[in-house]
Structure 1
Amino acid sequence: MPSADPLTPERILEATEDVLRRYGPAKATVVDVARALGVSHGSVYRHFRTKSELREAVTARWLTRTEVALTEIINTSAESAPAKLQHWLAALFEAKRHKAGDDPELFATYIVLIGESTVVEAHIRELVGQLREIVEEGVRSGQFAVDDPAVAAQAVFDATARFHDPAYAAEWQNPSIGAEFIAVSELLLRGLRA
C-alpha cells in the first residue's frame, strides 16, 4: 500500500538507511528502497539519479550529523578555547564510538560506503576547519601560542585519529581507551598553550 506521506529526499534517505541496515551495501538496491517506501523505483530515481548518487547522499547525511553536533559546541559554548577544544575532541570521540557501538550493522555498512564515497574528504575538511576555528580563537585570546592555526588544527586532527578514524573502531571498546584519550588530548593542549 503506497504511503500517504509525500516522497521527499529525507524520507528516501531514511528508508535507504533501513535497507542498508537490513541487507548490507552489497545486496541493497534502489528497488529495495522503493519497496520499503511503497513507491516505484522510478520515483526514487526522480530524487536521486543513480544508485551511486543515493549512496553518496546517505553517506553525507550520516557524516553531517557529527558535523552539526560539533558546530554547536563551537557556536554555543562560552568555554575557553582549551576547554572548548577538549569538549570538541571528546564529543567527536563519543559520536564515533556511539555510531560504532549502537548500530554495528549500519556502522559496518557505512565503512564500505565511505570507501566508495567522495564526501569523506569534504567531511574531514569540515572537521579540520572547525578545529582551526577553535585554535584561532585560542590564539586571539592568548591561550594558544601557534604560528599557523591551520597547521596546528591538522596536527591535532592527525594526532587524535585513533579516537575518530573508523579504522580504529575495534579499539574503542578497550577498557583503557578513555584514559588513553585523556592523556593524548591533555598532551595536545599543553603543546598548544601559550
Structure 2
Amino acid sequence: MDKISLDKEIILNATEEVIRRFGPDKANITDVAKLLKVSHAAIYRYYNGKAALFNAVTDRWLAQLHAPSNDILKEDSPADAKLSKLLESFVEAKHRSAINDPEMFANYIKLAQSSMEVIEKSKEEGIKRIEEIIVQGITEGIFFSESPYKEARSVYLATSVFIHPNSFEDSDRKQNIESVINLLIRGLKNSNR
C-alpha cells in the first residue's frame, strides 16, 4: 500500500465521501481505508471504531451546517430581529441539507437515533446561541426574562419540530415556522407574564 500522511481531517473527508457514496448503513471503516489506500488499522489509530468515526463526521457536519449562525450573532441588529433570523437559519439548515446532501442528512438521522452525544452537544450549542440573543434583548429592554437559559431552551424545543424530516413536505411549513417564531418573540417581549 502507498504511504499516505494521515490526519483526522483527511480521514473525516474520506469518511464523508464514503457515506455519500454508499450511504450511512453500508459505509464502513474498510471502505474509508480503501479510499485512502491504507489499512483499516491505520484508521483505528485515530478513531476507536465506526461509531467514534461517524460521531466525529456528524459533529463536524453539524458545525459546518450551523456556521452561519455565528455570523448572525455578530450582526449589529436588535435582538428580536436577530433571534428571528437565527431560528429561521436553524430550521432551514437541516431542510437544505436533506435536499442538497441527503446521505449526510441520513447519517445525522441515524446518529440521532443511536447516539445522543453529538446531537446533545449540537442542541446545547443552539440553546446557548439563543440565550445569547435573549440576554442581548434583555439588555436592550426588548425581552423580559428571569431565566434566559430556560427561555432559550423552550424556544429551541418549540422550533425543533421544524428540523424533523416529517415537517419538510408540509405545504404550510414556511408559514408555520414564521407563526411560531413570531409567537415566541411576542412571548419574550411580554413583560406581564
Aligned partner of 1:106 in structure 2 is 104
**Offset at residue 96 of structure 1 (A):** 0.9
Aligned partner of 2:37 in structure 1 is 38
Q: Tell me, in whole angstroms, the C-alpha distance in 2 between the residues paired with 1:17 and 1:53.
A: 14
SS in 1 for 2:52: helix
SS in 2 for 1:18: helix
Q: Is the 8 A contact 2:30 2:40 kept in 1?
A: yes
Aligned partner of 2:20 in structure 1 is 21
The alignment status of 1:146 with 2:141, answered yes or no, reads no
In structure 1, give the amino acid aligned to 2:41. G
Q: Tell me, in whole angstroms, the C-alpha distance in 1 between the residues paired with 2:156 and 2:45.
A: 38
The alignment status of 1:92 with 2:90, answered yes or no, reads yes
Are residues 3 and 186 of structure 1, via their aligned partners in 2, closer, same or farther at CA, if it must alter by over 3 Å? farther
TM-score where L is the length of structure 2: 0.90
**Offset at residue 19 of structure 1 (A):** 1.2
Aligned partner of 1:189 in structure 2 is 185
Aligned partner of 1:12 in structure 2 is 11
In structure 1, give the amino acid aligned to 2:108. Y
Are residues 2 and 110 of structure 1, via their aligned partners in 2, closer, same or farther at CA, if it must alter by over 3 Å? farther
**Offset at residue 111 of structure 1 (A):** 0.8
SS in 1 for 2:43: helix
**Offset at residue 125 of structure 1 (A):** 0.9
Q: Is the 8 A contact 2:91 2:159 kept in 1?
A: no
TM-score where L is the length of structure 1: 0.89
Q: Tell me, in whole angstroms, the C-alpha distance in 1 between the residues paired with 2:182 and 2:34.
A: 50
Deviations 1:122-164 (A, max 9, x none): 1111111111111011001101011211111111111112222
**Offset at residue 41 of structure 1 (A):** 1.3
Q: Tell me, in whole angstroms, the C-alpha distance in 2 between the residues paired with 1:153 and 1:33.
A: 39
Aligned partner of 2:174 in structure 1 is 178
Give 5+ residue unaligned stretches, structure 1: none
**Offset at residue 97 of structure 1 (A):** 0.7
Give 5+ residue unaligned stretches, structure 2: none
In structure 2, give the amino acid aligned to 1:130. R
In structure 2, give the amino acid aligned to 1:155. S
Aligned partner of 2:125 in structure 1 is 126
Q: Tell me, in whole angstroms, the C-alpha distance in 2 between the residues paired with 1:184 and 1:130.
A: 18
User: How many percent identity over aligned positions?
Assistant: 38
Q: Tell me, in whole angstroms, the C-alpha distance in 1 between the residues paired with 2:169 and 2:77.
A: 29
In structure 2, give the amino acid aligned to 1:32. D
Deviates more, 1:62-71 or 1:121-130: 62-71
Q: Is the 8 A contact 2:58 2:108 kept in 1?
A: yes
Q: How many residues align?
A: 189
Aligned partner of 1:50 in structure 2 is 49
SS in 2 for 1:160: helix
Aligned Cα root-mean-square deviation (Å): 1.7
SS in 2 for 1:173: coil
Q: Is the 8 A contact 2:29 2:50 kept in 1?
A: yes
